Amino acid sequence: MPDLRGRVAIITGASSGIGKGTAVEFAGLGAHLALTGRNQENLQATAKACVEAGTPQDKILLLTGDICDEDVRKNLVDQTVQKFGGIDVLINNAGIGHFAGLETTDIAEYDKLNHEY
Ligand SMILES: NC(=O)c1ccc[n+]([C@@H]2O[C@H](COP(=O)([O-])OP(=O)(O)OC[C@H]3O[C@@H](n4cnc5c(N)ncnc54)[C@H](OP(=O)(O)O)[C@@H]3O)[C@@H](O)[C@H]2O)c1
């Protein structure tokens, strides 16, 4: 496994699923973490799991917001650099899946998947 001690990783969509799993794995490898999602309660649960896995609380930055919003993305980068002095890894994970055929997908859902994310 790679040694991520002191490396700064942004993980979007860290409040559940693959992003949460990645955050906990990176915490076990010593990374410093900037974690995002919209659900603050879930994000705090991820942070707790990361602390248990090895990253100190003061090396975890939590930011809630909609990643489709450019200001949220800019704030994420700015605050990460301000807190940690740089960024080594970006896990650009936040997203949604839509499992249905084209004939049952309305155009608004199609546009959301293809243009907003
Ligand atoms: N699981 C699969 O089989 C699979 C297959 C192909 C691709 N993927 C992709 O892999 C990624 C993770 O999948 P997953 O299964 O772990 O999904 P998940 O459990 O639904 O997690 C998605 C994460 O993305 C965040 N997110 C979604 N939209 C967001 C937005 N607009 N702004 C901020 N955060 C947002 C969610 O945060 P909140 O809940 O806090 O909003 C959540 O933390 C997704 O991009 C998905 O499309 C997954």
Domain ranges of the chain: 8-116
Query: Which atom of ligand 1 is found nearest the CA of 66?
Result: 32
Burial class (CB in 10 A: 0-12, 13-18, 19+), 90: middle
How much of the chain, in percent, has pLDDT values that exceed 70?
100
- What pLDDT is stored for residue 56 in this prediction? 97
35 in contact with ligand 1, CB cutoff 6 A: no
CATH number assigned to the domain with residue range 8-116, chosen from the 4 options 3.40.50.1220, 3.30.70.120, 3.40.50.720, 3.10.450.50: 3.40.50.720
- What pLDDT is stored for residue 98 in this prediction? 85
Q: Rounded to 5 degrees, what are φ and ψ at 15?
A: -85, -5
As a whole number of angstroms, the distance between CA 102 and CA 71 comes to 32
Residue at token pair 């980068």: 77
**Reported pTM:** 0.95
